[in-house]
Amino acid sequence: MSENRLSSETSPYLLQHKDNPVHWWPWGEAAFAEAKTSGKPILLSVGYAACHWCHVMAHESFEDPQVAGLMNALFVNIKVDREERPDVDQIYMSALQQLGQSGGWPLTMFLDPDGRPFWGGTYFPPVASYGRAGFSDVLQQVSTVFAENPDKIEKNASAILARLEKAGRPVDAVAIGRQELADAADRLAERFDPVQGGLKGAPKFPQCGLLELLWRQGTRRSDGRLKALVALTLNRMSEGGIYDHLGGGFARYSVDEIWFVPHFEKMLYDNAQLLELLALAYHDTGDSLFLRRARETVGWLEREMLTAAGAFAASLDADTEGHEGRFYIWTTREVEAVLGAEDAAWFNRLYDVSPAGNWEAGNILNRTDAGVVSAEDEARLAPMRAKLLAARATRVRPGRDDKVLADWNGLMIAALARAGAFLDEGQWVALAERAFHAICTHMVTDGRLAHSWCGDKLVTPGLASDLAAMARAGLALHEATGARAPLDQAAAFLEALETHHLDTATGTYFFTADDGGGLILRPLATHDEALPNYNAVAADALLRLAALAGDDRLRARADRILAGLSGPAARNVLAHGAVLNAIDTRLGLAEIVAMGPRAPAFTAAALAVPFPLRVVVHAGAIAPGDDGGPDVMAARLASAPADGAAFVCVGERCSLPVTDPAMIAATVSEMAG
């Protein structure tokens, strides 16, 4: 057979390529069997639906009959959706980096028929330009080397595989305590832009794990300087072009250093992490901007990202009608047609809209230089934004990637549950409950969690990131609602992680399950990418479940993981924010238990303590398998006043009964500082 084989796939990204003249294969045994039978090398192309340069390369090369003819004649061509198969992407992206090249998408790798990489790159233009080789030339040269220099191919493939295996082994453990965390935060603060926030330079990414690290250490040390950097960054993002001022939600990153020009795709995971940070920033500062952006982002989530089952879609595309950002850009004439001349003039002044345009003859709405917008002006702007949003809805919409990814959903479910309980936004918690139920109903089969669900296709088995993030989600929902079911499900996810992903050599977890199969190696990562590292998420979840279950064996698992991650984290703070945050959880997590007739009042006060710093134990819902929790609870109940109390434990120390709900936050601060 020699036709394009993507038409039966369900991934929106793969379906974008089903009509290419390239004879694409989906990732699988059949493609590798074809390579071995034909003796051809493999061209592996990895991208995702919201990737602008993936679309560009597709249009320039994969839709071109001449280029496709070369690809078909010389290679077995495999197309992969990195969001559907992040394990495949992680292996070959790491291989590209072992070749000394910077990573990114589209990822273009050349493999031998056994799947071993021997060369690669990212975007290739159709003809040579600006020092980049033309794609047709690359195809012919790689094919020639593969055919005429098998020894060179074997040497390259073996060397890259050896380096990949070595890179997947965490280095020796390093002791990281409170002082080391404080030092890491101080070094990180020096790298932050004092005017625009975020790490200095361009492009600018949200870097949520690093922002959380600054927030945690600023809270622990009562260091207003560190927390001010977090608030500054969120303020600049919330007023910049990276934020969708009409529809809510944040784009993936900005191409400049002032959060102005976004790379327009919107990803579920970015908005999940930013929702948590906005809630914390509002609690700290009282700045209504942060609460408003949080509410608007959840509004976008409900309006544009909910699937019929109640879970969340993965992303929105950057491009419409072949142009990046067209859906979001305005001219003065378009604004005036919707608002009228008087209101348009005022709106345009605040949102940087001019006849000449601020980006490619159009205007990216932003308030970067608007200064503080008063409550009265915000009230006047709200109906104007609503009118413009309604007008924008008539435009050709960006494509939505409808894949439901368990790990991305887990992060959003946890964010909605945590921020919703923290800010008393009950609808957010309800959204989280619905999504959690959808994942557990449709993506758990025979006790195993899938990674991706799209149409009638499940990609199984799930990855470590799925189990870790969904465990976090279940624990957050249990804290927010007191319901037992999500607690039990979180415990089951963490057991599956231990059973199917454990690397006994390091104590950490492989990304892929022991029965995943089909890969040249089992990837194991310690660093953050756009998502927090799954090992760190798992360690944090284990620590919280240990407190909820009263089971020190779970805490020992977390200690084992953190020891395995500590060496890389100590050597590279910028890439390991999630690990350092998990270590902070280990050192300072406050366990708050409410008991007695006034338990609801104590629980409400406990939920008002910032969620990274505490876990709220509902005394009537001890996790199964607990060997000591009930006795501890009974002892606490016996020592509490008749009308109830709360107990706060941090590390190996517990407070006396707290009899006034208003004193819970102060008790946590005193014990955890």
What 3-state DSSP class applies to 489? helix
| Structure letter (DSSP) for residue 61 | I
In tens, the pLDDT along 48-74 reads: 988 888 888 999 999 999 999 999 999
Nearest to 118 by CA among 86, 157, 146: 157
Please report which residue ranges of 240-360 form alpha helices under DSSP H.
Answer: 268-285, 288-300, 332-339, 341-350
pLDDT at 628: 45
Report CA 42 to chain centroid distance, whole Å: 30
pLDDT at 623: 40
pLDDT higher at 172 or 482: 482
165: number of Cβ within 10 Å: 13
Q: Could you give the C-alpha distances from 453 to 10, 81, 308, 442, 456, in angstroms and in order? A: 9, 13, 13, 8, 7
pLDDT at 652: 77
Distance CA 375, CA 387 (A): 19
Distance CA 204, CA 232 (A): 14
State the number of CA atoms in the 13 A half-sphere of 501 facing the CB. Answer: 30
Q: Is the pLDDT of residue 455 over 60?
A: yes
Mean pLDDT over 541-563 rounds to: 95
pLDDT at 167: 72
In tens, the pLDDT along 576-622 reads: 999 999 999 999 999 999 888 889 999 999 999 999 999 999 875 54
State the number of CA atoms in the 13 A half-sphere of 541 facing the CB. Answer: 37
Q: Is the pLDDT of residue 81 over 50?
A: yes
Mean pLDDT over 476-489 rounds to: 97
| Length in residues, the chain | 673
Phi, psi of 11 (to 5 degrees): -60, 125
Distance CA 253, CA 38 (A): 42
Contact 205, 531 (CB under 8 A): no
pLDDT at 437: 98
Q: Work out the pLDDT band at 626, boundaries 50, 70, 90.
A: very low
Q: Is the pLDDT of residue 636 over 60?
A: no
Distance CA 248, CA 14 (A): 28
Share the mean pLDDT of the chain: 92
pLDDT higher at 258 or 52: 258
pLDDT at 554: 97
The secondary element (H helix, E strand) that includes residue 563 is: helix 552-571
Q: Could you give the C-alpha distances from 77 to 6, 104, 114, 553, in angstroms and in order? A: 11, 19, 14, 47
Q: Which residues contact 172 (CB under 8 A, 6 or more apart)?
A: 567
Mean pLDDT over 441-458 rounds to: 95
Token reading at 664: 């819970």
Q: Is the pLDDT of residue 639 over 70?
A: no
Mean pLDDT over 346-366 rounds to: 95
In tens, the pLDDT along 401-428 reads: 999 999 999 999 999 999 999 999 999 9
Least confident of 165-179, 196-210, 613-627: 613-627
Q: Work out the pLDDT band at 633, boundaries 50, 70, 90.
A: low
Q: Work out the pLDDT band at 181, boundaries 50, 70, 90.
A: very high
Q: Which residues contact 424 (CB under 8 A, 6 or more apart)?
A: none
pLDDT at 473: 98
CATH 3.40.30.10 in the chain is located at: 12-167
Q: Is the pLDDT of residue 632 over 50?
A: yes
Q: Is the pLDDT of residue 627 over 50?
A: no
Mean pLDDT over 454-461 rounds to: 94
Q: Is the pLDDT of residue 673 over 90?
A: no
Amino acid at 557: R
Mean pLDDT over 358-375 rounds to: 93
Contact 22, 58 (CB under 8 A): no
pLDDT at 51: 82
Least confident of 31-35, 371-375, 418-422, 603-607: 371-375
Phi/psi-derived region of residue 596, left when phi > 0, alpha when psi is between -120 and 50, beta in every other case: left
Residue 179 burial (10 A CB sphere; 0-12, 13-18, 19+): exposed
pLDDT at 170: 67
pLDDT at 625: 43
In tens, the pLDDT along 656-672 reads: 889 999 999 999 988 87
pLDDT at 638: 54
In tens, the pLDDT along 274-311 reads: 999 999 999 999 999 999 999 999 999 999 999 999 99
pLDDT at 23: 96
Token reading at 628: 């000591």
Domain 12-167, CATH number (from 3.10.310.10, 3.40.640.10, 3.40.30.10, 2.30.130.10): 3.40.30.10
Fold topology of 178-318+401-588: Glycosyltransferase (1.50.10)
pLDDT at 634: 53
CATH 1.50.10.10 in the chain is located at: 178-318+401-588
Q: Work out the pLDDT band at 533, boundaries 50, 70, 90.
A: very high
Please report which residue ranges of 221-331 form alpha helices under DSSP H.
Answer: 224-239, 268-285, 288-300
Q: ω into residue 630 within 30 of 0, thus cis?
A: no
pLDDT at 99: 86
